[in-house]
Amino acid sequence: MISTPHRETAIALINDAVTAGARRAKACAELEISDRTLRRWTKNGRVHADQRPLVPHPEPINKLSVADRAAVLEACNSKEFASLPPSQIVPKLADQGRYLASESSFYRILRAEGQQQHRGRAKPPIRRKPPTSYKASAPCEVWTWDITWMPGPVAGMFFYLYLIVDIFSRKIVGWEVHERESAELAAVLIRQAVLAEGCTLRPLVLHADNGSPMKGATMKTTMEKLGITASYSRPRVSNDNPFSEALFRTCKYRPNWPAKGFATKADAQAWVKSFASWYNGEHLHSAIRFVTPDARHAGRDRATLANRAILYANARAQNPERWSGKTRNWQPAGPVWLNPETEISAPEIRDAA
């Protein structure tokens, strides 16, 4: 950093050298600066001060004195204002006819003194860590499940749909409709799904919300016996269970979803059975290259996608002028992450396999 007086001295010496017949660039080189730097220092014949942040600047005239800062701290730590933030203290002081400093100055002084903490008896907000991330590279590695309401025959009466989905293939691997939420009923469904998919001897992660059916003693015991790793969302954060939430939306926005509710539990079960059959066997899922969940779950999607790729390659060969770039990507979708971190190398991320 070169102060303004030193700049003025350097410019005077260079001007004297130029007047004596020296070249400006040579004169600048003697002072170890460039001709460009010299031009930057001067504008309209005046020397400009260095504006970079590390340059020493004079003390601002509106800076609070030591006594002013002490008065602010005394007010903040007084019995009357000890539990209030500056946003409350400053107006109250104004009502008393007192002005000590601006609200931003209050915050700045408290922060500098290490007192910008939660004030008051209420517990401060808790920042919860995101749930552990898991990667599914094949079926039966990571499942998610949840319970949603299905409207009954009268207002205020509901049936409860228990739904389990494999995040790799998006296949519904288990479902049931009951008249109540229960950890015991959920445990039965989980056991049936694991047996039906034949993954009793394979490591499996099961993610769920924080409801009582998900964390009931019977449910936890069943998961331990089956060798299932439990994963849970943060409290009151639905985005930590996105696969189940998306599946429920698809379910409830089907054209044949009864707007007036289901008359009986049997009707609700019949509807869900039809939906699961359509979703697994007919629905072309956008997240898995528009193949059915059943096809991806069984590994049949690769042949389907390869045929599509060949079809597009032939179409491009016949009419190359219709393509300005590559053909559509028909490669099989890769691994699927449950609640991925922004940095995949984070220690909380685990491979479900």
For residue range 169-197, list pLDDT tens digits in order.
999 999 999 999 999 999 999 999 999 99
Contacts (Cβ under 8 Å, ≥6 apart) of 1? 50, 52, 54, 55, 56
- Look up residue 258 and give its DSSP letter: -
**231: amino acid identity, one letter:** S
Position 122 in a domain: no
Q: Do 38 and 72 share a domain, yes or no? A: no
The pLDDT score that the predictor gives to residue 115 is 87
- Look up residue 223 and give its DSSP letter: H
Position 170 in a domain: yes
Position 238 in a domain: yes
Q: Do 195 and 158 share a domain, yes or no? A: yes
The pLDDT score that the predictor gives to residue 343 is 46
Instruction: Judge contact between 47 and 12, C-beta under 8 A.
Output: no
Q: Do 139 and 270 share a domain, yes or no? A: yes
Count CB atoms within 10 A of the CB of residue 338: 26
Position 55 in a domain: no
Instruction: Report d(CA 328, CA 315) in Å as an integer.
Output: 12
Instruction: Report d(CA 227, CA 202) in Å as an integer.
Output: 8
Q: Do 100 and 135 share a domain, yes or no? A: no
Q: Do 312 and 246 share a domain, yes or no? A: yes
Q: Do 86 and 22 share a domain, yes or no? A: no
**348: amino acid identity, one letter:** E
The pLDDT score that the predictor gives to residue 10 is 85
* Domain finish residue from 57, 77, 112: 112
Distance from CA of residue 347 to its chain's centroid?
17
Q: Do 108 and 138 share a domain, yes or no? A: no
Position 290 in a domain: yes
CATH number, residue 330:
3.30.420.10
Instruction: Report d(CA 334, CA 214) in Å as an integer.
Output: 29
245-250 own/partner pairs: CB under 8 Å, 24+ apart: 245/146, 247/163, 247/165, 247/170, 247/172, 247/279, 248/146, 248/148, 248/161, 248/163, 250/279, 250/283
Q: Do 206 and 255 share a domain, yes or no? A: yes
Position 177 in a domain: yes
Instruction: Report d(CA 142, CA 136) in Å as an integer.
Output: 6
Instruction: Report d(CA 275, CA 337) in Å as an integer.
Output: 25
Q: Do 335 and 228 share a domain, yes or no? A: yes
- Look up residue 286 and give its DSSP letter: G
State which residues of the chain have pLDDT below 70. Answer: 1, 45, 49-57, 59, 119-120, 342-353
Instruction: Judge contact between 29 and 23, C-beta under 8 A.
Output: no
The pLDDT score that the predictor gives to residue 11 is 84
The pLDDT score that the predictor gives to residue 165 is 98
Q: Three-class SS of residue 206?
A: strand
Q: Do 258 and 144 share a domain, yes or no? A: yes
Position 340 in a domain: yes
Position 249 in a domain: yes
What's the pTM? Answer: 0.66
* Domain finish residue from 81, 112, 143: 112
Structural domains of the chain, count:
3
The pLDDT score that the predictor gives to residue 51 is 65
Q: Do 195 and 87 share a domain, yes or no? A: no
Q: Could you tell me the end-to-end alpha-carbon distance of the chain, in angstroms, rounded to an integer?
A: 57
Q: Do 200 and 254 share a domain, yes or no? A: yes
By residue range, what is the domain housing residue 25? 4-47
